[in-house]
Amino acid sequence: MENNYYSPVQILENNIKAGINKANMGLLKMILLGMFAGMFIAIGAEGSNLAAHNLTGVGVARTLTGVIFPIGLMMLVVTGGELFTGNCMLTMALADHKIKALQMIKNWGVVYFSNMLGSILTAACVYASGQYDYSDGALGAFTIKVAMGKADIDISKAIFSGILCNILVCIAVLMSSAAKDLIGKLFGAFFPILIFVISGFEHCVANMYYIPAGIIASGNSKYVDKACELYGYTSAQISDTLTVGGFVHNLLPVTLGNIIGGGIIVSLGLYAAHLVLDKKEK
């Protein structure tokens, strides 16, 4: 009887083939699929913010966000979006001499900024929808709070949190690709993402929604006043922290950590274990 899942070696071989296709993808298709991926992750992020915004218990709130956020990756898995953090595993195809470094860098750059565009456009649409008015503006205030914590993060913490995050995200991608049926793919994507969200690790594409959403919300005095009331901020603190500079302050170290976690530890580590050392032992 045939297995309904692939072996670890087959998973990596399939990932290399997928990497070749990604590296040779047309520019317009890459941009469109990158924007869709950014939108899907942003939808998972806004939905998890909405669910948790008026909960007081940290454990309960994080568990609830952990259950909802993975829906974004599930949509991506089914539709074939291009996600930067998953594409960090192009290093596997590079190590196998199937693609060139410039192809990988081009894919990373195009997908990264396409993810950003999709995420920011989604944040703008969510604001325009009036969703942040929920609970008398408490959702807008919570959106500001989440962004404040990310825009003011310590650089070393951001790097290590980014490493841990993309270890889990890339394992989720590989687990999803291990399944041959849709339910298996969705379950494979769900559980590692659940752990990363509960743990509060930093994901650069998710932050492309969280921080711009907070910046947009901070332009509304109602949400700022509510954030000051609920979380003890001052309006000056919010205006000084939620800036483009604060956005970049988070993204640079988190992106570096995501590349290390996914592109080096998971991708090259598993490649060495299953496709290099296995061959030498045989």
Which range is least confidently modeled, 25-34, 53-62, 68-77, 221-230? 53-62
Q: Percent of the chain, pLDDT > 70?
A: 98
Number of domains in the chain: 1
- The answer to the question of residue 184 being in a domain is yes
Task: Please state, in angstroms and rounded to a whole number, the distance separating the CA atoms of residues 91 and 266.
Answer: 10
Q: In the prediction, which pLDDT does 235 show?
A: 97
- The answer to the question of residue 2 being in a domain is no
Residue numbers of the domain that contains 112:
8-281
Strand partners, 5: 179
- The answer to the question of residue 38 being in a domain is yes
Half-sphere exposure of 252 (CA within 13 A, CB side): 10
- The answer to the question of residue 84 being in a domain is yes
pLDDT tens sequence across 216-256:
999 999 999 999 999 999 999 999 999 999 999 999 999 99
- The answer to the question of residue 216 being in a domain is yes
Task: Tell me the torsion sign for CA atoms 252, 256, 258, 259.
Answer: positive
CB atoms within 10 A of CB 124: 13
Which range is least confidently modeled, 48-57, 124-133, 152-161? 48-57
- The answer to the question of residue 109 being in a domain is yes
Asked if residue 280 has pLDDT above 70, the reply is: no
Q: In the prediction, which pLDDT does 55 show?
A: 87
Rounded mean pLDDT of the chain? 96
- The answer to the question of residue 3 being in a domain is no
pLDDT tens sequence across 131-183:
999 999 999 999 999 999 999 999 999 999 999 999 999 999 999 999 999 99
| Residues 87, 108 contacting (CB under 8 angstroms) | yes
Q: In the prediction, which pLDDT does 1 show?
A: 53
Q: In the prediction, which pLDDT does 281 show?
A: 61
Question: Which residue shows structure tokens 């298996």?
Answer: 184
174 burial type by CB count under 10 A (0-12 exposed, 13-18 middle, 19+ buried): buried
- The answer to the question of residue 1 being in a domain is no
CATH number (domain holding residue 44): 1.20.1080.10
pTM: 0.94
Number of H helices, E strands in the chain: 16, 0
